[in-house]
Amino acid sequence: MIPETGKVSVVHSSQCRMPTRHGCFEMHVFTECESGREHVALVLGDLAAEATPLCRVHSECLTGEVLGSLRCDCGSQLDEALSRIAAAGAGVLVYLRQEGRGIGLTEKIRAYALQDEGLDTVEANQKLGFEADLRSYRPAADILRWLGAGPVRLMTNNPAKLSALKADGIAIHRREAIIADPNAHNQSYLDTKRDRMGHLFEPSKES
């Protein structure tokens, strides 16, 4: 299903073979029409040939994925998603460039400083004048359509992401939980995602 606007939010920019420690993927870059942000899809195998390919829609987290921060579970989730796709032999990871739930790196670090003073992640964003989550999943929906992915098994704990992709016309065969081991630095963060944002830290369920 194409959204009622009929407008595509991204255009395909480039692609190449991308060998990784998880296997050799096909990397596609998409440019967002309105913002100019560049998003990435890592594809393994033939998505069109898969009845229900594994799929992860993942938002950028420089601190967790590049610097190894223990304040979140982003780096662990990214690694786990790629491992599961590799084990399945086919699937896609869509990597959206929307740092800090859409507020950007500078504001995310300001939010971290507020969390050090005792606020949780939702309260910190709100004190800075933002909603708890400003991310858009429309680019991911358009990327998945461009790639020809059929009904997907979506690796996520976030019900808002699940609902947004469905609203943008992506068929979800099943949600699959993707849970990282907690640590002393991120336990409060994970509790807030569960208790205040409704994240589903439980076994997978049929959609």
Q: What residues form the annotated binding site?
A: 56-61, 72, 74, 77, 99-101, 121, 156, 161
Active site residue ranges: 133, 135
Cβ density class 30-52: b for 16+ within 10 Å, e for less: bebeeeeeebbbbbbbebeebeb
CA neighbor of 190 nearest in space, from 97, 86, 64, 66: 64
Output the 3-class SS for 189-202.
HHHHHHHHHCCCCC
State the residue for tokens 């429309």. Answer: 138
Q: What angle do CA 80, 19, 8 make, to 5 degrees?
A: 75
The radius of gyration computed from the CA coordinates of the chain, to the nearest angstrom, equals 17
- Give the residue ranges of the annotated binding site for Zn(2+): 61, 72, 74
Return phi, psi of residue 131, to 5°: -75, 165
